[in-house]
Structure 1
Amino acid sequence: MKKSELIFIPLPQTGHLTSTFMLAKRLINLDRRISTITILCMKLPFAPNADAYLASLTASEPRIRHISLPEVQHTPTDETDDFLDSVDKNIPSIKKTIKDLVSSSSESHVLVLDFFCVRMIDIACSENIPCYIFMTANLAYLGFLKYLPERHRLTPSEFDLSSGERELSIPVFLNKVPASVIPRGVFNKLYYKTFVNIGQRLHEARGILVNSFSDAEPHAAEHFSRGGGNYPRVYPIGPVLDLTGLTKTEPPSAQYEEMMKWLDEQPDSSVLLLCFGSMGVFSASQIKQIAHALELVGVRFIWAIRTNTAGDGDPHEPLPEGFADRTMGRGIVCSWAPQVDILAHKATGGFVSHCGWNSIQESLWYGVPIATWPMYAEQQLNAFEMVKELGLAVEIRLDYVADGDNATPEIVSAGEIATAVKEMSAMARKALGDGGSSMVATIDFIRDVLGDQF
């Protein structure tokens, strides 16, 4: 039986690393012909702890190993650099590492790149090995990246709201997409070129794995299933999530135990979780507005507040005077919340989210309705899809600028959406079951890589 080694190159950001590791686990558990999955970890300025995190994940998995790449010199970016410059600086060392892996083994090799690493497709070509892309985002975002080069052929310049291009006809969406909800980078000349380049280079991959499932995005899934042109085959294999705590690297803290005990004491579906991701930082005035809304509504809540990206600030400092006393017993304020465990708890009835795709899928998996509060990157587009396309979330705000000073956020209760989310939860589980759409797509990918003897 011929063995194969898969080489993964993720962006060294926590969400990307977690999804990559969980996908690797699924693949090795499905087919013994995959002897090893090797994950290469870049050292980038914005991810100083990535290497240690990945090492902790792979330590107990003998068939998944990680290789720490040498640190490269990163000079401050200037106006000629794009946001992938620090990734590209790793290409020489990655090329050497892959060359060594391929030459030192008689096994066949396959390269799986994070979609932010598409420029490394050239390495696969030089080593004559197949190359796939792993989209940690969703089908809609892949469709947006596919659309960009098509638009660029007609309008070869960055987006500009003042030009009248206010609504976009993107094939993977049923509705016209407001230009105000697409990633802000495409309004910048330099970053626009980067996004277009990513969209162009995706065509060169042999296939694209997407962390989503067909029932979650039926119109987009149907669009890609039709194929056409020279676009690679798309495999919707999601949700790829850590739902069992495999990626927890530390034992439960006293704060965690206290939080879960408090949840155990609350009525079913009565607690609102407010959590905005590792980069979700609010100003003091925004925090006061949210606090005011929580007091007005009177809902039970767990609220994770980050006053800086390091997450080491005091979450209580920016709160209005007396807020803790007035909400004592019905709310918890913290700097970090165990999001998956809270969403899984029967007491949780709603989730105010920044709309990162992993967070959305976790919420759908556990059937918790979402109120959207997108903040950066593709989160605006995710929120638009959830609210307008799929009817799976309620809208708190869809404008991009997170000012929050002129309006009090509205916490909305919507029975129809709650029902739809519960139904989607069942569909997500079905997708990953035997014969489910995502499991079939995963097996199809393995067959494409290794052959039909599954």
Structure 2
Amino acid sequence: MEKRNERRVILFPLPLQGCINPMLQLAKILFSRGFSITIIHTSFNAPKSLDHPLFTFSQIEDGLSETQTKSRDVLLQLTLLNNNCEKPLREGLAKLIKPDSDSGTTEEMKISCLIDDSGWVFTQSVAESFNIPRLVLCAYKFTFFLGHLLVPQIRREGFLPLPDSEAEELVPVFPPLRKKDLVRIMGKSGQVEQLDSYLVKILETTKPASGIIVMSCEELDQDSLAESHKVFNFPIFPIGPSHIHDVPASSSSLFEPDQSCIPWLDKRETRSVLYVSLGSIVTLTESEFLEIACGLKNSDLAFLWVVRPGSVHGRDWIESLPLGFIESLEGKGKIVKWAPQLDILAHRATGSFLTHNGWNSTLESICEGVPMISLPFVWDQLLNARFISDVWRIGIHLEGRIERREIERAVRRLMVESEGDEIRERIKVLQDEVRRSVKRGGSSSRSLDELVDRISSF
């Protein structure tokens, strides 16, 4: 660990699990490079400060009601948070920069920069008012970040309505998405104006920033990084995957993982278990949940399934399962409320991953060489799934078919048949390339050095 250089970096994560993880991983990396770290966070989905004793945490009020915090409408939550948090962030920064005498400290803090998630659209003006450089964290695959900013333009050009005959066609300006994927990304009809306005603000408030930190690497995002100069005229730092950098591990999960997963896996044969997790936001209908359950059971293979409480509409947990379902598995299946995902993907017994293809999960699976079955639902998951199945060819795409026979067939193709062996060989090659990127001299390692130099220059 390097000596503190007395320069402090302020990080402000968006309060969603998929955004908190990479921000705190970035904090650990910068701390290892000698910077002091302060995390400003909302009361909604506050990170667990006790898990990160070397950082300073400062909470601001977000103004969300209890009902709003429980909403499944993520766009609504993001809109409310951006509307509510500007004044609290401004006040919080003022207190950090110029502590009052009541705090026992009168010395002004030396702040190098503010790093916040691209989903915050008011922070550029706040940073400018304090004369603090701002860096933007992109928690998506950079291909998606560039592409999703085009959604308002695509809509204006009359993309919809979409004829059924064009559903499978590629989207020329947003490869490798198919048109049917883009329809799902473009959102519900009642949210069109709200989504487009939000995306325009993201672009407008990112352009004046001092750079973008990307949680990807050149090996996974080469084409989009090469195109970035057409949109942005500042440095871009692809330093990912952040979780495999050589820094001490710590948890940033908002949920308590069930640690009994690992002893259960220890008793299984190598590459014999299908891991199933659809992330921290995805919700299922009861019918979809039962189709997945039956597909897993009918595959006659071992599985470890994460079912988040409240993720099945109208149910608390797994009470929808048929009477005797668990017993009928005869020990081949285990269902938990949350799991230590990194440990599971790294376990020798894990043979494949049925995933929603959030970017964190996708990266983690690649880094452990675990082939995927893609079941994307929203947003960037749809693009990530296309890369998995169509570009890198390291998994199987369910194409939205949540049907027991389709699930059973995909599991057996990946876990038992020769197709799975071929996919496993391809992901092993990609795994090695991505892991090399963070080693000394690799693309991400070089980019991290450039980022540290950039922050030190402020």
Q: TM-score, normalised by structure 1?
A: 0.83
**Partner of 1:94 in structure 2?**
89
Cα distance in 2 between the residues matched to 1:364 and 1:383: 13
Alignment of 1:14-163 (within 5 A): 14-30=17-33, 32=34, 34=35, 36-43=36-43, 47=44, 50-51=45-46, 53-58=47-52, 60-61=53-54, 64-72=55-63, 83-103=78-98, 105=108, 107-148=110-151, 151=153, 156=156, 160-162=160-162
Pairs aligned (count): 426
Cα distance in 2 between the residues matched to 1:179 and 1:416: 28
Cα distance in 2 between the residues matched to 1:67 and 1:95: 12
Cα distance in 2 between the residues matched to 1:229 and 1:379: 23
**Partner of 2:251 in structure 1?**
247
Other structure's SS at 1:332 match: strand
Other structure's SS at 2:213 match: strand
Per the TM alignment, residue 176 of structure 1 is displaced from its structure 2 partner at its CA by 5.7
Q: Select the residue among 385, 390, 404 that pairs with 2:392.
A: 390
CA deviations on 1:200-222 (whole Å, 9 max, x unpaired) are 32212111101111112332233
Other structure's SS at 2:199 match: helix
Q: Residue 286 and residue 73 in structure 1: after superposition, are their counterparts in 2 closer, same or farther (change >3 A)?
A: closer
**Partner of 1:297 in structure 2?**
299
Q: Structure 2: 5+ residue runs without aligned partners?
A: 100-107, 415-419
> Could you tell which deviates more after superposition, 364-373 or 286-295?
286-295
Q: Residue 9 and residue 426 in structure 1: after superposition, are their counterparts in 2 closer, same or farther (change >3 A)?
A: same
CA deviations on 1:308-352 (whole Å, 9 max, x unpaired) are 149996654222343323321222122222222111110110000
Cα distance in 2 between the residues matched to 1:271 and 1:116: 36
Cα distance in 1 between the residues matched to 2:404 and 2:31: 51
CA deviations on 1:421-451 (whole Å, 9 max, x unpaired) are 1122222221111111111111111111213
| Contact 1:277–1:356 (8 Å) recurs in 2 | yes
Cα distance in 1 between the residues matched to 2:188 and 2:206: 17
Cα distance in 1 between the residues matched to 2:163 and 2:358: 29
Q: Residue 8 and residue 211 in structure 1: after superposition, are their counterparts in 2 closer, same or farther (change >3 A)?
A: same
Per the TM alignment, residue 387 of structure 1 is displaced from its structure 2 partner at its CA by 1.6
* 1:436 and 2:439 are equivalent in the alignment: no
> Could you tell which deviates more after superposition, 440-449 or 197-206?
197-206
Cα distance in 2 between the residues matched to 1:242 and 1:434: 13
| Contact 1:102–1:109 (8 Å) recurs in 2 | no
Q: Residue 427 and residue 148 in structure 1: after superposition, are their counterparts in 2 closer, same or farther (change >3 A)?
A: same
Alignment of 1:132-211 (within 5 A): 132-148=135-151, 151=153, 156=156, 160-162=160-162, 167-170=170-173, 173=175, 175=176, 177-181=178-182, 183-185=185-187, 188-211=192-215
Q: Residue 314 and residue 330 in structure 1: after superposition, are their counterparts in 2 closer, same or farther (change >3 A)?
A: farther
CA deviations on 1:97-144 (whole Å, 9 max, x unpaired) are 223333452624311111111321111122222111001111121121
Q: Structure 1: 5+ residue runs without aligned partners?
A: none
| Contact 1:210–1:237 (8 Å) recurs in 2 | yes
Q: TM-score, normalised by structure 2?
A: 0.83
Per the TM alignment, residue 358 of structure 1 is displaced from its structure 2 partner at its CA by 0.7
| Contact 1:293–1:408 (8 Å) recurs in 2 | yes
